[in-house]
Amino acid sequence: MTKEQERARARRRHEEQQKTAKPPVSDSTRDKQVFGVILAVILVIAAAIVVPKLVGSSDTATPAAGSTTPASTPTSSGGLAAGQKLAAGCTAPPANQTTPKQQKQVPAKATAAGKTFVATVRTTCGDLTFELDGTKAPQTVASFINLAKTGFWAPSPCHRVTTEGIYVLQCGDPTGTGQGGPGYTFGIENAPKDGKYPTGVLAMARTSDPNSNGGQFFITYKETQLPTDGGGYTIFGKVTKGLDIVDKIAANKALPPSPTDGTPVSPISILSVSVTEKKA
């Protein structure tokens, strides 16, 4: 083999090696790769921080679509939570219940059917008076009477106030977490088809499940439009006295981070509930 042939063979071998070799990484490309890795790590860390804030807890009883949890941890020892202040005429709330009285059976609606009742709700801000309509919502009224007689709400905070778009004060969970119930549930009655809830209406709160009515209820202190998805919300009475108390609580809005929906800045708790039948 001549020297010329050997050089040609060596040149071909070098060319073949160059075809299979990976191209070298330039400094600029290497810098981009390092930056990409760092950026990916930052995004992962950011996701770990942000996601828990965006993802809510399990459904809670609420007159709005979706779930809402109190804006601050309810006080377990009584008194005021951080950021709260008493409204005029109110006293400090007692401690929330940790284990509300539980029942297994839904009260018979026959006990309320065709009758009207008056409920006196004693609170830390004064008395509220409700008129309960057993004709239009017999199951709900029967349940309300039962829970009043058994002392389910004694005591019980009104754990949620909404002040934008939806105007309600929500009460009836002795734990103050928005997830407490009496141990039984029932379905919807007397829900307006147009989703309009006039001022002073007394209605049941529930989760997205139409059969999740229990012990939580809400008062509209201003006319409110609510979703009709799932059947709406049971209207079972109206406030005949004390709506000014609800207005006063709502005027101070909710605690951060959402002053339009959450734990009231000015707390109000139910101390006792008594119910009597209204005679014609």
- Residues 120 and 200 both lie in one domain: yes
Q: Identify the weakest region by mean pLDDT among 19-33, 86-100, 242-256.
A: 19-33
Residue type present at position 219:
I
How much is the pLDDT for 279?
85
Within-domain flag for 74: no
* Separation between Cα atoms, residue 137 and residue 28, nearest integer Å: 73
Q: Minimal CA–CA distance to 96: which of 110, 81, 111, 108?
A: 81
Residues in the chain: 280
Using the structure block, give the residue that is written with the tokens 């119930």: 181
Q: pTM here? A: 0.76
Range of the domain at 10: 3-54
- Confidence bin at 32 (pLDDT 50/70/90): very low
- Residues 126 and 231 both lie in one domain: yes
If one counts every other C-beta atom within 10 angstroms of the C-beta of residue 99, the result is 8
Within-domain flag for 72: no
Residue type present at position 268:
I
Share above pLDDT 70 across residues of the chain, in percent, rounded to a whole number: 72
How much is the pLDDT for 12?
56
**43 pLDDT higher than 90:** no
- Residues 233 and 120 both lie in one domain: yes
Q: Specify the DSSP class assigned to residue 106.
A: P
What would the pLDDT profile of 250-266 be if each residue is shown by its tens digit? Answer: 999 999 999 999 999 99
Q: Minimal CA–CA distance to 205: which of 101, 66, 71, 106?
A: 66
- Confidence bin at 70 (pLDDT 50/70/90): very low
- Residues 135 and 213 both lie in one domain: yes
How much is the pLDDT for 10?
55
Average pLDDT of the segment spanning 15-42: 40
Within-domain flag for 94: no
User: Phi and psi (nearest 5°) for 231?
Assistant: 110, -5
CATH number at residue 172: 2.40.100.10
What would the pLDDT profile of 164-186 be if each residue is shown by its tens digit? Answer: 999 999 999 999 999 999 999 99
Q: Minimal CA–CA distance to 93: which of 40, 155, 32, 48?
A: 155
Look over the chain and give the mean of its residue pLDDT values, rounded to a whole number.
Answer: 82
Within-domain flag for 86: no
What would the pLDDT profile of 120-149 be if each residue is shown by its tens digit? Answer: 999 999 999 999 999 999 999 999 999 999
Domain boundary among 54, 76, 93: 54
Note whether 129 and 241 are within 8 A (CB): yes
